[in-house]
Structure 1
Amino acid sequence: MSVRILALVGSLRAGSHNRQLAEAAVKHAPEGVTIELFEGLADVPFYNEDIDVEGGVPAAAARLREAAGSADAFLLFSPEYNGSIPAVLKNAIDWLSRPYGAGAFTGKPAAVVGTAFGQYGGVWAQDETRKAVGIAGASVLQDAKLSIPESVVRFAETHPGDDTEVVEGLTKVVEALAHAGSAAAA
């Protein structure tokens, strides 16, 4: 089994715990699974149909679409901003949902995980992310979830990749996603 998963992180902050969680997914990916952490979401302009025209798609959006087009599955990392999905992650979903009915997510599996400061680990934002990516055409794995609460305390002195419980939960999500990605690619 060889599966390529594209990881999209909804936080742009250098020290983001969600970014660290994505790094842990890359580090602990099972054999045969490659997780590419997409760099450059900050450079993708807000979706605007006026600039989404053949020959005129901004370079950053074209790079995102190219990376997504060659992915077998998607792993989205969502913090929670004011009880909702971060704009940068929603924008990526919007770009990848086009062209309508044939966007990069269409028919491919996706899972959403994340960590947040609050006591519920960002579940509202993660649920909204699942909804948005599902409407964009992905086959959302509803049972492949990982919400880690109180990130500021939990990861104050420990990287998520060094937290056994987090790595176990993340590995289960990645394995489920890889299995679904392998089946979708077949």
Structure 2
Amino acid sequence: MTEKLKVMAICGSLRKGSLNQMVANTLQELAPADMTLVQAPSIADIPLYNADLQNDDGFPVTVDALAAAIEEADAIIFVSPEYNYSVPGVLKNAIDWVSRLPNHPFKQKPIALQSAAAGMLGGARMQYHLRQILVFLEADVFNKPEVFITFGKTKVDEASGRLTDEAAREVISAQLAAFGHYIQRVQS
């Protein structure tokens, strides 16, 4: 029997009741049997990037915790909203910090992207910008199937904090299955 793939979800929203966090909360129930989904350490307490904070004592503890979790995971799924046609500042900040580490853990890490939004584009522009960032970091970004959840407020159950829309759940299940095969190819 092969070992389960450990995939970590990083949510790009800090908002209580985030559509994207609800999607992230649902991933394990949609994952194939050979995949375990875990949540990333919070990015809420990572300080604004400032090279002066990199000193002889190392990086902030919150950055080290996120980097260690990324390193330990077989792959990453970013689940994020779109802010002002781009990546939310809190997510970009976390990526900037981790990318400054020697031998940063995004290099050659399999990564999938998902987004949920209240509008009709479902976070497409954020995913385009995030792809650009990840290409520079030499991450192995998975392409298809893509997950853009449009009109997200109608597709979640806020009380349970879960994605309930069956069509969106099917697309995510298909992405996770294909992503699992992609991770195995990248690792071999």
Q: TM-score, normalised by structure 2?
A: 0.89
Residue identity matched to 1:11: S
Residue from 171, 174, 180 that aligns with 1:172: 174
How many Å separate the matches in 2 of 1:54 and 1:20?
A: 39
Partner of 1:141: 142
Structure 2: gaps (5+ residues) = none
1:94 Cα offset (Å):
1.4
Number of residue pairs matched?
185
Q: Deviations over 1:88-120 (max 9, x none)?
A: 1112221232336x2111111111111111111
Q: Is the 8 A contact 2:155 2:163 kept in 1?
A: no
1:68 pairs with 2:70: yes
Could you state the TM-score of these two structures normalised by the residue count of structure 1?
0.90
One-letter amino acid matched to 2:40: F
The one-letter code sitting in structure 2 at the alignment partner of 1:63 is: A
State the alpha-carbon separation in 2 of the partners of residues 182 and 67 from structure 1: 19
Task: Give the equivalent residue in structure 2 for 1:181.
Answer: 183
Q: Which residue is equivalent to 1:86?
A: 88
Q: Which residue of 2 is the match for residue 106 of structure 1?
A: 107
Partner of 1:42: 44
Is contact 2:157–2:163 with CA below 8 Å preserved after alignment? no
Q: What is the aligned-residue identity percentage? A: 32
The answer to whether the 8 A contact 2:156-2:163 is kept is: no
The verdict on how the C-alpha distance between 1:19 and 1:183 changes in structure 2, with shifts beyond 3 A counting, is same
The residue identity in structure 1 corresponding to 2:38 is: E
Q: Which residue of 1 aligns with 2:128?
A: 127
Does the CA-based 8 Å contact 2:81-2:115 persist in structure 1?
yes
> Residue 43 of structure 1 aligns to a residue in which SS?
coil
The Cα RMSD (Å) is: 2.0
SS of residue matched to 1:147:
strand
| Conservation of the 8 A alpha-carbon contact between 2:135 and 2:141 | yes
Per the TM alignment, residue 49 of structure 1 is displaced from its structure 2 partner at its CA by: 2.4
Measured in 1, the distance between the counterparts of 2:93 and 2:47 equals 8
